[in-house]
Structure 1
Amino acid sequence: MRREHGTPRNDWEKTIESQGLAYHRAAHPAGLSRPYWDESVHYVFSMDEVEELETQVEELHEMCLRAVEHVVSAGRFADFAIPEWAWEEVARSWERRDPYVYGRFDLRYDGTGAAKLLEYNADTPTSLVESSVVQWFWLQDVFPDGDQWNSVHERLIDRWRALRLPSGPTHFAFTNADETGEEAMTVAYLQETAEQAGLHTVAVAMEDIGWDELNRRFVDVEERVIRSAFKLYPWEWMLSDDFGRQAVRHATWIEPLWKTLLSNKALLAVLWELNPGHPNLLPAYLDGPRDLTSYIAKPLLGREGASMRIVTPEGTQETPGAYGREGYVFQGFEALPVFEGQRPVLGAWMIADEAAGLGIRETTGLITDDTSSFVPHRIAD
């Protein structure tokens, strides 16, 4: 694993915008000197490294599924701050094995030893367009004979084909609250892969989904029944919504309700409890840092690195934010590795039960947040 430099393509901004990364300016805070998509650098991996990462990521995925089985069997929903009225519905969703499509593991990795799980974005992961499409076309333009850990697009199509969804169109729902356009483009891309798989699809805003009280069903603005829907909208938001009780019982939602147990950072503590000392895990606890001398306190339902606190013998650092009402997990802290002053975090994609690709974000800080830049990668000969 190494970091290399290159010359950005002529008109690279127009190129990536034409490939779906239309939000690259809006998704980045104003005033930063570095663009969100930065192809002036890239990371290089050996095939051996990639194959080893694939194996580790799929093992993490299997461990996560076993963790869900444990939580459901033991009834540990309170550890995840799930409303009590929804516990039975989460259990039923798991017992039915409601269908799922994708997720993204965030990993600490420096090219030596095992990758360490930082968190699992299992419900509403983004950076999909840049991981699947944009960096692939970068590779074709800059290294036409090169290779990349990236079968995301093909595996998404295969996954949609494999799903057994209710009759009628599958709706793809975004939220109008997204001002950057990132979520709308992510949903549009996933909708495109579903259409390539042969599904009949309809786009809809979450805010335009209605509840037909008489017939006990969700409908879109044209009164079409919503029997199945992909939504880039967190389950914790849905459960707190006025129609949350209807949502858990009506329609097939992707990602499914049981993913609330994987997208919640309490998962990190359960994984460590079930697999103590596992090389891909960092120690993590729900009841405090215990004997950890360096740790990071993460809100169970936090996003974009907000509301975190890093405690080390050298001092304490905090990030602003309003998360944490539901509680925190305390995870052993290992700083991200440094490559030429930048700290990369690896986003390893799971499609169904298979490792499918890699996206890399990097920043100078200890926490990867919305100021980070996405950089492409390739596999060396």
Structure 2
Amino acid sequence: MRRQASTRRDGWEKTIEAQGLAYHRSAHPVHLARPYWDEGVQYVFTMEEILALESQVDELHGMCLAAVEHVISAGRYRDFAIPDWVAPEIEASWRRGDPHVYGRFDLRYDGRGPAKLLEYNADTPTSLVESSIVQWFWLQDVHPGDDQWNSIHERLIDRWRELPLQSGPAHFSWTNMDETGEEAMTLGYLQETAEQAGLATVAVAMEDIGWDPRALRFVDMENRVIRTLCKLYPWEWAVADPFGPQAVRQQVSMTWIEPLWKMLLSNKALLAVLWEMHPGHPNLLPAYLDGPRDLRAHIVKPLLGREGAGMRIVTPEGAQSTEGSYGAEGHVYQEFLALPDFDGWRPVLGAWVVGDEAAGLGIRETSGLITDDSSSFVPHRIAP
């Protein structure tokens, strides 16, 4: 694994915008000189490294599914700050085998040892367009003879074909709170893969979804019953909304992507449960719910935090925090192992899972210790 300088393509901004990355300016802080999509550098891997990472991601995903079964069987919902009234519906969703489509592991990896799990974005993962489409076309333009760990697009299409969906169109829903366009473009891309799989689809804003009190079903603006809903609206927000009880109790008559049981995988309490179940596992960092215990250096993560907000790093040299309103739900205390340093930049590997198989890689890097909305996306390739 190495970081290597690249020459940017002429007109690269218009190229990536035409490929769906229309939000590369709006989703990135305007004061930063470095663009969000930065093809001025790339990461280069060997095939042996990629095959090892793929195997480790498959194993991590299997461990996470086993952790869901453990949490449900042991009734450990309060460790995840899940309301009591939601717990039975999570169990029912899991026992039914409500289908899931995709997720993204965030990993620490330096090419010299096993990847370490930082978190699992299992409910509302983003950076999908850049991982699946934009960096693939970059590879074809710049290194057409090389390979890339990237079967995301094909696997998404195959996954839609596998799902036991009800009749009627699948609805893809963004929220009007999305000011950058990232959510709308991500859902638009997911909708495109579903259409390529042969599904009829409809786009709708979350705010335009209504409730039919006579039919006891959600409906769209055309008064069509919604039988399949793909959303990037987190379940922890949904259960707290006025329509939360209806959404939770509609699990049996609707297909939700992602399903309700994914609340247990998108919550950072998962990190502590995994360490309890697999202490010393080479792909895990020690993590606890009751405090840092004997960790020499640790990071405090809100259970439901996003984009690196509300975190606190504590080391023998001192402490530093990021701003954010998350944390009222509780925290997990994970061993702090700084991201590897490549020429002053620190990458986080976003390893994608589609269905139950590793599917590809996207990389974001930062000059700091925590990946946040100021981090840039950098393409990768596999050297021949």
Quick check: TM above 0.5? yes
- Give the match for residue 222 of structure 2: 222
Report how far residue 366 of structure 1 moved: 0.1
Whole-angstrom CA distance in 2 between matches of 1:2 and 1:275: 30
Report how far residue 5 of structure 1 moved: 0.7
Report how far residue 248 of structure 1 moved: 1.3
- Give the match for residue 85 of structure 2: 85
- Give the match for residue 208 of structure 1: 208
Whole-angstrom CA distance in 1 between matches of 2:131 and 2:255: 27
- 1:47-71: CA deviation from partner (whole Å, max 9, x where unpaired): 0000000000000000000000000
Equivalence map 1:249-264=2 (5 Å):
249-250=249-250, 251-264=254-267
1:353 is the counterpart of 2:341: no
- 1:217-272: CA deviation from partner (whole Å, max 9, x where unpaired): 00001100001111111000100011111111212211000000000000000000
Whole-angstrom CA distance in 1 between matches of 2:243 and 2:175: 16
Equivalence map 1:237-248=2 (5 Å):
237-248=237-248
Cα RMSD of the aligned pairs, angstroms, is: 0.5
Whole-angstrom CA distance in 1 between matches of 2:339 and 2:221: 46
Whole-angstrom CA distance in 1 between matches of 2:317 and 2:97: 46
Query: SS where residue 360 of structure 1 aligns?
Result: strand
Report how far residue 116 of structure 1 moved: 0.1
Whole-angstrom CA distance in 2 between matches of 1:240 and 1:139: 43
- Give the match for residue 378 of structure 1: 381
**Runs of 4+ in structure 1 displaced over 2 angstroms?**
none
Whole-angstrom CA distance in 1 between matches of 2:112 and 2:55: 15
* Partner AA of 1:108 in structure 2: R
1:304 is the counterpart of 2:283: no
Whole-angstrom CA distance in 1 between matches of 2:92 and 2:142: 49
Whole-angstrom CA distance in 2 between matches of 1:165 and 1:75: 29
- 1:98-127: CA deviation from partner (whole Å, max 9, x where unpaired): 000000000000001100000000000000
Give the TM-score of the pair, scaled to structure 1.
Answer: 1.00
- Give the match for residue 116 of structure 1: 116
Query: SS where residue 348 of structure 2 aligns?
Result: strand
Whole-angstrom CA distance in 2 between matches of 1:33 and 1:215: 53
Whole-angstrom CA distance in 2 between matches of 1:259 and 1:319: 26
- Give unmatched runs, 5+ long, in structure 2: none
- Give the match for residue 18 of structure 2: 18
Name the % identity.
75
- Give the match for residue 280 of structure 2: 277
1:363 is the counterpart of 2:382: no
Equivalence map 1:332-351=2 (5 Å):
332-351=335-354
Whole-angstrom CA distance in 1 between matches of 2:46 and 2:357: 20
Query: SS where residue 86 of structure 2 aligns?
Result: helix
Report how far residue 290 of structure 1 moved: 0.6
* Partner AA of 1:148 in structure 2: Q
* Partner AA of 2:32 in structure 1: L
- Give the match for residue 324 of structure 2: 321
Whole-angstrom CA distance in 2 between matches of 1:227 and 1:28: 35
Whole-angstrom CA distance in 2 between matches of 1:69 and 1:156: 25
Query: SS where residue 120 of structure 2 aligns?
Result: strand
- 1:315-338: CA deviation from partner (whole Å, max 9, x where unpaired): 000000100000000000000000
Whole-angstrom CA distance in 1 between matches of 2:89 and 2:162: 24
Report how far residue 30 of structure 1 moved: 1.1
Whole-angstrom CA distance in 2 between matches of 1:54 and 1:144: 22
Report how far residue 92 of structure 1 moved: 0.3
- 1:330 corresponds, among 329, 333, 336, to 333
* Partner AA of 1:54 in structure 2: E
* Partner AA of 1:190 in structure 2: L
Whole-angstrom CA distance in 2 between matches of 1:296 and 1:179: 30
Report how far residue 214 of structure 1 moved: 1.1
Give the TM-score of the pair, scaled to structure 2.
Answer: 0.99
Report how far residue 95 of structure 1 moved: 0.4
- Give the match for residue 42 of structure 1: 42
Whole-angstrom CA distance in 1 between matches of 2:353 and 2:159: 11
Report how far residue 175 of structure 1 moved: 0.7
Whole-angstrom CA distance in 2 between matches of 1:167 and 1:79: 37
* Partner AA of 1:223 in structure 2: N
Whole-angstrom CA distance in 1 between matches of 2:229 and 2:166: 10
- Give unmatched runs, 5+ long, in structure 1: none
* Partner AA of 1:121 in structure 2: N
1:52 is the counterpart of 2:55: no
* Partner AA of 2:334 in structure 1: Q
Whole-angstrom CA distance in 1 between matches of 2:100 and 2:238: 17
Whole-angstrom CA distance in 2 between matches of 1:166 and 1:244: 22
